[in-house]
Amino acid sequence: MNMQRRPELWSWNSGVGVLQKQDTPTPNGIFQLHPLSLSSSSKMMNMEEPVEEVYLWGHLPTAIVGIAISTWWMNNALKSYIECKRFGQIKKYQSMPSYPGVPFFTDRYPNFHFEGWFGVTAFGINALAELFLGMSWRNHTPYLIGPMFLQHFVLLTGGVLRSCAVLLRYHKKWISVEMEFLAAALFLLLTIPLFLAHLPGKDRSDQLVHIFIAILCFMTARIILFEAKHRSSIMGTIGKCYTIALLSVWMAHAGDMLHATGDVKRMDPTVQLFYISMYFILDALIVAVIYVVLVARLYKADHNNNNNNNKFNFTITPIKG
């Protein structure tokens, strides 16, 4: 009697960060790879709530912070640019990698660099939390630190280092403005391998989401380097803020799409590509419209203030460095 050995097939479960054997037979007797269901993933991660909600709320704060930062940069840069233009000194405009002050309370706290201190605190606390969870009961791998938690720890540590560069430039003058630009660009470039590392074992939709995020990281880093070289051009700042806002929107999408249920992931890969592309185009257009409205409102406010006793009501935040 011929005994054929049953093939052992393995798949990578990125949600847990471990290889798992897949030995579920099909009606034809062929062993195939099957993604883990949401219920099984929830049990492995010891979570009561559905996995898709956990990942959505994990990505949503990052998206909100990114959108807030891009809007804060855009607001400060445009006010400075309009001020220089009004006095006929457009060549004196200089873009900045970050701006001091507290959003919505700039006049009260003009010298407190909220962005830098918030980055060090928020990224630092989250990095320590990922390190602790990666070594605790949440780690279902044979490694000391779960690979997924380690990836998050490295990503958050990069954010801490970039925020440290912001504070060292603003408070201590230990580094130049160009070095702060470089720190921001390197942070985005070094996150690209972390996103691409999640590709194996995922279906087409999940892979496309990660690839779009990686492309936006590269585009933003490239624009930041352009802005550092051409600081007198407002287009570099506008492009940087736009891509960061779009990147943040897709970070929120990643938390929702990666564990979506339904028939989307059962579609033909070409159809999945079509739907994801449509989402990307719509998001890009929506963010573009929002930024056009923001620029138009600032210019309209400038025109109205010039007609009222030639007084410009926007306050320019003092910039150190």
**pTM more than 0.95:** no
In degrees and rounded to multiples of 5, residue 136 shows phi and psi of -105, -155
Given a contact cutoff of 8 angstroms between Cβ atoms, the answer to whether 128 and 167 are in contact is no
Q: How far is CA 12 from the centre of its chain?
A: 24
| CA 2/CA 21 separation, integer angstroms | 25
Residue 97 CB: number of other CB atoms within 10 A? 26
pLDDT tens digits along 228-285: 999 999 999 999 999 999 999 888 877 766 555 456 667 787 887 888 888 889 889 9
Please name the residues in contact with 316: beta carbons below 8 A apart, sequence gap of 6 or more.
79, 80, 83
The amino acid at 285: L
pLDDT tens digits along 20-53: 444 444 444 333 433 333 333 333 333 334 444 5
Give the closest residue to 14 by CA, choosing from 36, 31, 34, 32.
Answer: 36
| CA 95/CA 239 separation, integer angstroms | 12
Tell me what pLDDT residue 237 has. Answer: 93
Q: Tokens 């380690």 map to which residue?
A: 150
